Amino acid sequence: MDKIKMVTPLVECDGDEMTRILWAMIKDKLILPFVDLKTEYYDLGLLNRNDTKDQVTKDAAYAIKKYGVGVKCATITPNKQRMVEYPQLTEMWKSPNGTIRSILDGTVFRTPIIIDSIKPVVKNWEKPITIARHAYGDVYKSVDMYTTEPGVCTMTFKGESGEEKTLEVQKVDGPAVWQGAHNKEKSIRSFAKACFQYAIDTKQDLWFSTKDTIAKIYDGQFKVVFEQEFENYKAKFEELGLTYFYTLIDDAVARVIRSKGGYIWACKNYDGDVMSDMVSTAFGSLAMMTSVLVAPDGTTEYEAAHGTVTKHYYKHLAGEKTSTNSMATIFAWSGALRKRAQLDGLADLEKFADSLEAACFDTLNAGIMTKDLVGLVEPGFEAHAVNSEEFLDAIAERLQAKLA
Ligand code: NAP
Ligand code: MG
């Protein structure tokens, strides 16, 4: 069989621990036998980030910007405990995802992979719900303080032109807590662009919710920016039969629970933090959650939403077989290959990405699963646990048959 050709390289970002082991196995078993894979490789493993003083992460982000598509393995974000575990670390390096996100100015979209035998807790959800979380500002970049006596708090903005604006926040008659938060219009606009672009790319409706009845100016500006940006995407939405709609966050929550799924729900930073945990838990397993970073110019980076699965890695190092779910990492590869194929007009590469995902579904539908999923399967469906490698072999066998 002739291998499928590629034209433009994919930016490949390798990572850490168990997901690094899976990464190599996925390439060996599911991609390299079929695709004449072209990648520009960046090793974002913790030790290489340390050796390059984290330059490799920045280089990878600029390469993704240059080529338009990247795929990333989960990586360790070092904390105090990791500094002990890896004494050679010269610094507590920042989260690679944070670095890449800020260079690409991107928004993260998280979507669950769903299968018939595992039902969401919300029984009417039939299709995945994708959460888009604004990842800048609000309470996450706020200042707060505690005061103990009666008094008044004001908020002052000093413009570079010398103009000042002051508001009274509140007069209090005793101890009080205070918080000052902000967002930047530029960031809200990038968020809006990424949401509209991703809705078009994935042909799904877009919902956006805030609390503009209460935060009239703050959340009101989010709503205005989305309305303004929508003007640039309206024609494409109409052509594809898609809807954009804005509603209050409390109304959105009620509608989401009653819905069948199959849309993108764009949330402000805090709402997205909380709601993405609710939605992913209700759909089942973290190991089945995909994650895509989309920049306002359409640049896209695919990854799994879970981490490096440390506990499994130490079992693996001890020579034990693990049963680690590779679904979300495989779908990061299929997503990236499909996007590359669409940008370069490569029909057989796009078909390969579809076949790879279909082979994964066939494997799960045959009851061949990793341990994390077996326990979630509904009565009446067959399911037995296999190890990490057997799971990939089962997919490879089905993929081979599809492509033959
Ligand atoms: P994690 O790697 O997501 O794992 C947490 C637990 O969830 C695992 O111990 C495992 O449970 C289960 N799990 C997650 N993914 C699984 C999979 N694919 N198959 C089977 N089970 C899976 O989170 P963590 O332990 O909090 O973080 C480990 C490292 O990952 C940290 O250093 C963190 O910095 C990093 N991290 C990276 C990213 C990223 O790069 N995007 C995201 C999050 C965390 P059982 O042990 O019960 O089987
Ligand atoms: Mg959270």
Report the percentage of the chain scoring pLDDT > 90.
90
Nearest CA to ligand 1 atom 46: 311
pLDDT grade, residue 93 (50/70/90)? very high
CB of 311 within 6 A of ligand 1: the answer is: yes
For the Cβ of 287 lying below 6 angstroms from any atom of ligand 1, the answer is yes
Ligand 1 mutation pick, 99, 118, 309, max ligand atoms within 8 A of CB: 309
- Whose alpha carbon is nearest atom 16 of ligand 1? 287
- 76 Cα–ligand 1 center, Å: 10
- The candidate with the shortest Cα–Cα distance to 370, out of 326, 319, 315, 305, is 326
pLDDT at 265: 98
Single-letter amino acid, residue 9: P
Query: What percent of the chain stands above pLDDT 70?
Result: 100
Q: CA-CA distance, 402 to 355, in Å (whole number)?
A: 7
Check whether 290 has a pLDDT greater than 80: yes
What tokens does 149 get? 């006596």
- Compute how many other C-beta atoms are within 10 angstroms of the C-beta atom of residue 323: 19
C-beta 111 within 6 A of ligand 1: no
Q: Nearest C-alpha to atom 44 of ligand 1 is from which residue? A: 307
Would strands 300-304 and 368-369 be described as parallel, antiparallel, or unpaired? unpaired
What pLDDT is stored for residue 371 in this prediction?
Answer: 95
pLDDT value, residue 329: 98
pLDDT in tens, 263-287: 999 999 999 988 988 898 898 888 8
**Ligand 1 centroid from CA 311, angstroms:** 8
Distance 307 CA to ligand 1 centre (A): 4
State residue 296's pLDDT score.
86
Q: Which ligand is nearest to the CA of 23?
A: 1
**Which residues lie closer than 8 Å to 131 by C-beta, 6 or more apart?**
109, 110, 264, 265, 267, 272, 275, 276, 279
The pairing of strands 263-267 and 129-133 is: parallel
pLDDT (average), residues 247-253: 96
pLDDT at 1 over 80: no
Instruction: Please give the helix or strand (H or E) that residue 246 lies within, else none.
Output: strand 244-248
Strand partners, 13: 42, 72
The widest CA-to-CA distance across the chain, in whole angstroms, is 80
